[in-house]
Structure 1
Amino acid sequence: MSGQVTLVGAGPGDPGLLTLRGLRALEAADVIVADRLGAGAVLDGLAADGVALTAEVIDVGKLPGHHAVPQDAINDLLVTLAREGKRVVRLKGGDPYVFGRGGEELAHCRDAGVACEVVPGITSAVSVPAIAGIPLTHRAVATAFTVVTAHDQIAELGGGRDHTVVLLMGIGTLANSALTLARGPRGGDCPVAIVEDGYGPRQRVTIGTLDTIAVQAARRGIRSPAVVVVGDVVALSPYAPAELASAAPDRARKAPSP
């Protein structure tokens, strides 16, 4: 008997942000292969809310700089479990297709002849800025946004302060990223926010500029996981200091009515 694999996006870690379809997949699963970030918190949160899952849970969580289980081994594990006839949920933090390597896992399963489907999740790139009151786009302030990681070529990013940049996995290289973006059209006084541990117990917001954010992060001991947001939309946050909050909101208020 052949089983199947379902890639489920766990969202940013709050079980309330797990989709209903994702919850149904977890309830029906024989085995849950879970990430550390997002996924682990969702499983803990569901248990605390009295949701009893009967599936075996296999932790393949990755720590910064240390991959507990290599990606190739995870891919093979999914196929092996499905070939044993099990209903497998691969529970991934955020959305499987946003820097989650979900495409690789889907392709591996299909190449092996294993049925596989995807249940989208809420990516931290959008949800974590939202809890800090930062809209990634806002009329008369920002009309587009780009999501990148610290490993991408951010020097090649186009746009100015009205093109929001969301930087994932960026704390370790924050100083270099800030310097690179400050040298471009955004300038050193462009607002920046760091939201640590979104939806977690260490949730904290730090706001500065491209010129100041690296020093602020060092002084506050900011740690991963964290999402960095760069652009004038940061000034719309209620956490923004007065000197930053005076520019972008004014432009937004002056925008013509739709």
Structure 2
Amino acid sequence: MEYSVQLTFRESWVDGRLAYGLPGDNKPDFLILTAGQQIWMPDSFFQNEKQAQKHMIDKPNVLIRVHKDGQILYSVRISLVLSCPMHLQYYPMDVQTCLIDLASYAYTDNDIEYRWKETDPVQLKDGLNSSLPSFQLNNVSTTYCTSKTNTGTYSCLRTVLELRRQFSYYLLQLYIPSTMLVIVSWVSFWLDRTAVPARVTLGVTTLLTMTTQASGINAKLPPVSYTKAIDLDYRPNNSDAETWVKRRNYNDTAELLVLGPRSTTR
């Protein structure tokens, strides 16, 4: 499972070789470099990234700012497709945790140590929740995820996104229609017992409609080997409809046994 984000990625470091002045002199506070100018930059990458794209219209969306004390600010606008393993046991009332991991590809923690900015390390766009039709962003937190591999120990920054699935869609598209179908199936109790085609058609149509609804919902999900909450919520409705059909047939059979012709002996 995956999700896509568009973000402005900023990182800052100090390179004393690029310092060009002292505080209080008449030199400009900073210089802006173009993307083509060669300076040393950390080889940061997103560990759980599947696809990435830099925005190039109408100029590369990149900012490189060199301050007089040698501090460098690098800012770039990128779009990412990131992997996010989801747990669907409570679907569609689930809460998912998705990560954004940033680390150096070649430099170990002896060379580069990543640290979060002390104030507001993650800034969210206004109205972000309104642009997420299926989820609500509950919380965003930051932590560290330093990892060890065969080539060394690498410093890592982690952004944790807590997403709660919006339930209103499933309430309107699944739960309310299935409840109405169950209520409609009760009409068979008020039909005359001799109206067999009408009662059978009503019961079978209800079962087929509910089965189609369940198949449509599951078709949008990846196949998983465990039972989801929606399976438990939806199965009783089908079972109730099946029970009503069987019970009605049982009552008809009982009535036939009671009202059927009796043999007489002389």
TM (norm. structure 2) is: 0.22
TM (norm. structure 1) is: 0.22
**Structure with bigger RCO (C-alpha 8 Å, 6+ apart):** 1
